[in-house]
């Protein structure tokens, strides 16, 4: 049986590791506030391929919900609201293909973040197969961030 935290003396307590501050949020705040036309262009990139059945629309909503549990480690926003998901395509057999990007080509999680998104989507029972393709065109910019995320970051 594990001891309760309140019963631990200071010698038994271990501090949680704190990640170094990357400055990414401040960098975004310093950039010029996006223009409405750029926001509309960014939003247009997220699309679903073809007409979906009601069951596939429900699956798409589940996929978005699951993807919203994956966070960029440098910016305290999930990858969906950060605008990193460019396309979600669901075929007739519920095979899912996602096109996503990262905030920068040199992003330190380039090898792990797409894998995490793919793994989480593949864990949805209705999904037969999941594939995440990392794309760099068009490049990500802050106009792709959702309004809610902009508010959370203090950018709106």
131 versus 31: the higher-pLDDT residue is 131
64 versus 15: the higher-pLDDT residue is 64
CATH code at 66? 3.30.300.130
In a domain, 8, yes or no: no
In a domain, 4, yes or no: no
DSSP string, the chain: -PPPGGG--TTT--PPP-PPP--HHHHHHHSPPPPHHHHHHHHHT-EE-S---HHHHHHHHHHHHHHTT-B-SSSSSBTTTTT-EEEEEE-TT-EEEEEE--SSTT-TTTTTHHHHHHHHHHTSTT-SEEEEEE--SSPP-GGGS-HHHHHHHT--
Which residue segment(s) compose the domain that 88 sits in? 23-153
pLDDT digits (tens, 9 = 90+) for 4-55: 544 555 555 655 555 556 666 666 666 544 433 343 333 334 444 457 889 9
């Amino acid at each position: 049986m594990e001891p309760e935290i309140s019963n631990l003396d200071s010698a038994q307590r271990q501090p949680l590791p704190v990640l170094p501050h990357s400055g990414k949020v401040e960098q975004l705040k310093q950039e010029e506030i996006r223009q409405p036309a750029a926001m509309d262009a960014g939003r247009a990139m997220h699309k679903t391929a073809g007409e979906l059945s009601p069951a596939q629309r429900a699956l798409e909503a589940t996929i978005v919900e699951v993807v919203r549990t994956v966070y960029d480690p440098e910016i305290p926003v999930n990858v969906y609201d950060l605008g990193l998901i460019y396309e979600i395509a669901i075929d007739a057999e519920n095979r899912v293909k996602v096109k996503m990007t990262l905030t920068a080509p040199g992003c330190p999680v380039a090898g792990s973040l797409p894998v995490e998104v793919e793994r989480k989507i593949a864990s949805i029972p209705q999904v037969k197969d999941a594939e995440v393709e990392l794309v760099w065109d068009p490049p990500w910019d802050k106009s792709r961030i959702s309004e809610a995320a902009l508010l959370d970051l203090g950018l709106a």
